[in-house]
Amino acid sequence: MRASIETPGAQASEPIRAAAEQLRVGVEGRVSIAAVARAAAMSERNFLRRFRKEIGVTPTEFVLRLRLEKACHMLIQTELPADKIARRTGLSSGDRLAKLFRQHLAISPTGYRNAERQRLAAIALSTPQELAEREGHDD
């Protein structure tokens, strides 16, 4: 249920890895794909093509996933309402955040918060043997 985006691997070229890092660092604000393409010394069209080929998603989808990942973390770690989390993660509103959660995670932000907190509480209260069984290990 958790959202996660991998760090670009060794298969990505240095300019594309640097661009992904630039997108990661600026994810909370307004992201300009054209500016990132210029910083990578590529035309926007070539940048979009190479980014998708090397990272596996478009730069826009990459940023969206980063924002969802950050929102997931904030939902679990803070008491902030969804609307504030949406604004702090670069999304326009709580409604937009809820729509994205339903599309990508098939759950509401509040449902995600509750489910993940319950999951973490269950793990925290588990014995080492129960944790091993949950992971399918026999210690």
**Span 44-78, pLDDT tens digits:** 999 999 999 999 999 999 999 999 999 999 999 99
The structural domain count of the chain equals 1
- Return the higher-pLDDT residue of 91 and 3: 91
* DSSP code, position 89: T
pLDDT tens, residue by residue, 88-139: 999 989 999 999 999 999 999 999 999 999 998 888 887 777 767 767 654 4
Is residue 43 one of the residues assigned to a domain?
Answer: yes
Residue 1, pLDDT > 50, answer no
pLDDT tens, residue by residue, 7-53: 555 578 889 999 999 898 877 788 889 999 998 999 999 999 999 99
Is residue 2 one of the residues assigned to a domain?
Answer: no
- Say if residues 3 and 69 touch (Cβ distance below 8 Å): yes
What's the domain range around 78? 14-124
C-alpha to C-alpha distance for 32 and 60, rounded to whole angstroms:
10
Would you state the pLDDT for residue 129?
77
Is residue 81 one of the residues assigned to a domain?
Answer: yes
Residue 3, pLDDT > 50, answer no
Is residue 88 one of the residues assigned to a domain?
Answer: yes
Ramachandran category for residue 107: left, alpha or beta (phi over 0 → left; psi -120 to 50 → alpha): beta
Q: What is the CATH number of the domain that holds 61?
A: 1.10.10.60
Is residue 89 one of the residues assigned to a domain?
Answer: yes
Is residue 69 one of the residues assigned to a domain?
Answer: yes
Is residue 8 one of the residues assigned to a domain?
Answer: no
* DSSP code, position 117: H
Listed as own residue / partner, the contacts of 34-39 with beta carbons closer than 8 Å and 24 or more positions apart are none
Is residue 130 one of the residues assigned to a domain?
Answer: no
E strand intervals along the chain: none
